[in-house]
Every structure is written in structure tokens, then in C-alpha cells.
Structure 1
């Protein structure tokens, strides 16, 4: 198993998504000693944002790219190669203001690229993901209860967005483990963390 872990919380201490991810990975490695693990921390080391040159380079044919264009895509290529190396993804993505952290959005903008992770047929308007065959696991803590299906679930633009964008590049086998109510009383917080931990250990 090749596991790519992406962490996006800006908190390095006290982060629920980080601590639950660590527990999951230790348990996974204990059960599967051959597991290979790579970690990308976009919370503490944000990805480069696309620029005007980056966009021009992205849509240029590879053989038409100038040295400057190639350089502009270097970081993106590294992130894509990491993604394509893995067969399992573990994403620690806390909900920030009803959506994903801005650093994680920058990460997605680097890896969702035409002819690298998806193709588009202008004749039929058909998209096809190129990262098929991979499984995704998302741990997503939130301040309140924004779990899809609850009264505030229609405000959840975090895990719903992640399911769509991962599916767009071909990763359709996605499991979301929410950790709601993290701004509630300690009793409620700990109960939700324990519930999420049990789900992860089950997985």
C-alpha cells in the first residue's frame, strides 16, 4: 500500500485532524507493515499559487513550453507525481468558514490539471479523470454540526466539494469521517472525537 497523507490545518498543536490522522496511520502500519507513507503538509508549508505564467504554461503543449514555463510548473509537477505515486489518500481537512482551508484550495489548484489529472474532449464536452483506481479518506473536523443530512448540512462546502473535485480527477471511492461540534462543550467534543476515532479504527 502506498499512502499519501495531506494535512491542511494551520494548527500544529491541538489539531484534531492531525492527531486522528496520526492514530490512523500508526494503526494501519501496525496491521500492514509494508505500507509506504509520504506526508505533504500544506497547512504549515503552503503550496505556490498559480500565476499568469503558470496558467499559460498549463494550457501550452509540453513541447511549446519555454524554460520559464517549465519552471513555473515545477512545483505543480512535484505535487502531481506524489498524487499519482499513491494508491490511497488520507486528507486532513478541517472546515474553515464552511469550506476547505485556503492552503488546501491552492493544493487542489496545483493538482487538478488538464492532461495530467483529467482530460477534456471539446467535441463532446466530456471530462475524464486520470487518477482512477485510488481510494480517498477525508477527516474533516468542524466547529458545529455541518454533517450532510443535518439541519446545517446545506452549508457544508467542505467534504461535499472534496467529493466532487476528487471525483473529477477520477477518485470516486471516497470516505468522509466528520468530527463535528468542536466548538461545543468538552463533553460533546470528546464524544465526537471518540466516534470519529472508532470509525477510523474500523476502517
Structure 2
């Protein structure tokens, strides 16, 4: 006879625990790893040693950002192919772009991670290639930040597809409340003539 109240109490406890785990106060950032200052923030402050102010300042300089721009792959830049005549040498494809944001010394630090796959083709030769990956931050007034990175990867004749990752972690811009987008993609430069 006491089964219904016990079950109801258990359901109420589970519901309360689930609601306590939910947060809606801050933007959920895609996690690219633990924040560098996590150990500093968790450290308890001792009474009054000479270095206390420096420890508190270092812990307060890196905090979670309330706004983190969306990261996306720019249309038409997700695939890069190289051919030897009509035969495919290799093909690289960007499949995902992630970002993580922190406030560092009053600036918005954006770390962007790009994931993709490199597949050798029929005409592949054993060598190392460089994939040109562009990361750009665009605001309402135009480009705020742009960097062309190079990722070196081995290509093997008769090899299988491999996953690659590229991380851009030097983006520092003024904090924004919106209107900013992070674009990623391959940037092979202007088309070759001739």
C-alpha cells in the first residue's frame, strides 16, 4: 500500500535533481578542453601572503564569456581536391567547426577547432601535403580577424582515410553581444591561370 507514495517521492527527487543540473544563465560553449585557469579558480585563497593579489588577478583574468559567436564552415570551402590528370590524388573535407570563448584581460578570446578527413585517391603518392585552412571572424562592419594556417599531413599511396584536426587559438577581439560569426574553410588562394 505504501508503494505509490514511495514511487511518487522518488520521482519528485529525480525531477528536482534534473532541474538543479540545468542552467540557463550563460551561453553553452562547445568544449575544446578544460579552461587553463580551472585549477587557479578552484584554489582556495590563503590568509594574506604577498602573492595573494597576483593569484586573485590571474584567476579573475580568464572567465567564461556570456556570448560566443557561432562557428560555421563557409559555403563552398569545405572540400579540397587535387588531381593528377583525371585521377584523384587526394581529397580533404572539413566536417565540423567548434569554438570555445573566454574573457581574458577584458578581451574575448576565441579558440576554434576544425575537424575533417583526408582521403588518398587512385593517383596518390607517398608525401606530405599542406592544407590551407582559413579562420575568419566577421562582424557587422566587416572582417575583424583573419588567419590562414597550414596543416601538414602525410598522404600514402594505397592508404586509407585519416582524420585531421586544426586549432586556431590566437583570436582576441573586443567583447561583443552579437552580430559576430566565425567562418572556417579551405583557402587555396586565387584560381591558377593557364
> What TM-score do you get using the length of structure 1 for normalisation?
0.24
Instruction: Determine which structure has the larger strand proportion and give its number.
Output: 2
> What TM-score do you get using the length of structure 2 for normalisation?
0.25
> Highest CA radius of gyration, 1 or 2?
2
Instruction: Determine which structure has the larger helix proportion and give its number.
Output: 1
